Amino acid sequence: MEALLRQSKGVCPFLKKATPGALRTLSTTTYQSPGGGTISKLQHYARRCPVMNKGLAVQSAKINARNYSKAATSTGIVKSLLEKKLHTTAEKKANVDTKMYRAEQQPVPPSKAKQFVKSPEAEIARAGPKPAVPDTPKFDYEKFYTNELDKKHKDKSYRYFNNINRMAKEFPRAHMATKEEQVTVWCSNDYLGMGRNKHVLKTMHETLDMYGAGAGGTRNISGHNQHAVALEQSLADLHGKEAALVFSSCYVANDATLATLGSKLPDCVILSDSLNHASMIQGIRHSGAKKVVYKHNDLEDLENKLKSLDPAQPKIIAFESVYSMCGSVAPIEAVCDLADKYGAITFLDEVHAVGMYGPRGAGVAEHLDYHVWAQANRNPETQKGTVMDRIDIITGTLGKAYGCVGGYIAGSAKFVDAIRSLAPGFIFTTSLPPATMAGARTAIEYQARYQGDRRMQQVHTRELKDDLISRGIPVIPNPSHIVPLLVGDAELAKAASDMLLTDYQIYVQSINYPTVPRGEERLRITPTPGHHGELRADLVEALEGVWNRLNLKRIADWEAQGGFVGVGVQNADPVEPLWSDAQLEHAAELPKAAVDDVQEARIMPVAAAAA
């Protein structure tokens, strides 16, 4: 017995602490079992062991089953079972009473005891041959994947990734697989070049050195920190809202927010613009709410659909400010009017507008009341009733004009708290790294003080559009910073992109289905403050060469066909830029040096703490 105990001590934590004498004492001391009868204290403790508890339960079940037929002839068996509380939910532990309905046990002779020891060889012998593979065919997963990819190749919508490595010190230049293969990037969503801004990089370096690489968990479990609090406060202030909430991306923010609202609001209906981003479409789908799609920027169609709904029914109008693939801008104020009239709330995606529009970079909603938000002495009263104030929910990104990564929502305090408390996409996601949140906050505050970058971006956009149109290259008309060139064929769009990259060292990504409808394939160009006149001239000459070599349609060709997506439409009203000449002049007033001094003063405490 003692030899067996010594061997077991290395495995069982209970035995490590118990002496043989203590174990003998426990085995002879009785304990009243909750299921009836008495058991030894050693058996009582064994019940707590995940191994022994199962063993005792199996042994008890076998013994009780073997002896139940003998005891069933007794006249008091049913009453006795009820008194022992068997088969009730109150007590689920195995009954290990050694005296209950049990005939006197005879010790097993040593010769027979060996028969009960299962050897590996015996188990193998009893196992028998392995069953034959069923004749019925299994689903061919790899064939399924191949077929799906073949479809993408056949309709020319298969996506190829180019190895583009942007160089911070040579923006907007990048290299490909090797540093010698340098190209100029003309399609980045880092619209203002903030990914290499010296203030952003300095903040991120200092925060990284002090707080490390990752957040360490979700916001609920160790991932909530001062960087998240400060960033959300800056975002709430930027949009003039009570609160904001940061997500890992704006795709997640849109999906989680719409899915949560649509599923929680009773009998909710979500009215969605036909060109809304995939993240909004997915969020609506995940919500399970009724979806009503209205024609792109068509206020009459939107109102007709609102009229058909119960005035008391919860309704969300989901739309974007700048539609990134065509550059169109939503009639935000008019949508707010319809929302007020029919009892809906507004959900505005400002992803491609934050940092780009408005005197502080808050987006198109701010830009529409430029003079109000440009005032240094503005207050909640003067801001009340502005377009941005009327929007219920604003979503945005930290990964485009602000040059970092992440997404967010902004709105009333109760709305934000509800999403924080209910949305799985927020609750179960690891927080953004501290350095990322600190860098994003620096970018937001820098752009709120300095308008020079977005002003220069607008100037470069105007000049590029004018140069291309003068060459007959089909720019899809729009008032924003996006320069989409209509190709109208997936294979040709891919060929044009490849030719620019290989022959002219210029990277412009082709945009195919499902990002845009089939037949509307295009090249999407996004000038930045760093695309000066020499680079612009190189791009225009390269595009001229590509259009000639591939024989792509020009404006006159689309006009001969009656026009398409705004290109070649006769007697069309001219599209005026969202930024007026007066606003561009105002944006040039504050010198960059003054902003640099302010920004350096703000980040000095971070540097001192890191040191």
CA separation for the pair 273, 326 (Å, rounded): 14
Q: Count of CB atoms within 10 A of residue 576's CB?
A: 8
Contact 250, 402 (CB under 8 A): no
Distance from CA of residue 343 to its chain's centroid?
29
CA separation for the pair 171, 193 (Å, rounded): 7
Q: How far is the CA of 589 from the CAs of 369, 585, 597, in angstroms?
A: 19, 7, 16
Q: How far is the CA of 143 from the CAs of 160, 298, 397, in angstroms?
A: 21, 44, 38
Q: Is 143 a catalytic residue?
A: no
Token pair for 562: 């009656």
Here the contacts of 428-431 (C-beta below 8 Å, separation 24 or greater) are 428/218, 429/218, 429/247, 429/248, 429/252, 430/214, 430/215, 430/217, 430/218, 430/223, 430/248, 431/215, 431/216, 431/217, 431/218, 431/219, 431/223, 431/224, 431/225, 431/228
Contact 231, 441 (CB under 8 A): yes
Token pair for 374: 């440009």
- Residues with Cβ within 8 Å of 498's Cβ and at least 6 positions away in sequence, in order, are none
486: three-class secondary structure by DSSP: strand
CA separation for the pair 594, 598 (Å, rounded): 6
Contact 175, 162 (CB under 8 A): no
Token pair for 561: 């066909």
Q: Where are the beta strands (DSSP E) in 78-204?
A: 165-166, 173-175, 182-185
Q: Which among 400, 465, 494, 553 is annotated as catalytic?
A: 400
571: three-class secondary structure by DSSP: coil
DSSP calls for 289-312: -EEEEE-TT-HHHHHHHHHTS-TT
Contact 295, 271 (CB under 8 A): no
Q: Where are the beta strands (DSSP E) in 355-480?
A: 393-397, 407-411
Q: Is the peptide bond before 107 cis (omega within 30 degrees of 0)?
A: no
Here the contacts of 224-232 (C-beta below 8 Å, separation 24 or greater) are 224/431, 225/431, 225/434, 227/434, 227/437, 227/438, 227/441, 228/431, 228/432, 228/437, 230/437, 230/438, 230/441, 231/437, 231/438, 231/440, 231/441, 231/444, 232/408
CA separation for the pair 145, 249 (Å, rounded): 28
List b or e across 512-534, with b for residues whose CB sees 16 or more CB atoms inside 10 angstroms: beebbeeebbbbbbbbbbbbeee
- Residues with Cβ within 8 Å of 209's Cβ and at least 6 positions away in sequence, in order, are 610
**Phi and psi for 177 in degrees, rounded to 5?**
-60, -35
Q: Count of CB atoms within 10 A of residue 42's CB?
A: 18
CA separation for the pair 316, 271 (Å, rounded): 6
CA separation for the pair 235, 340 (Å, rounded): 25
Catalytic residues: 400
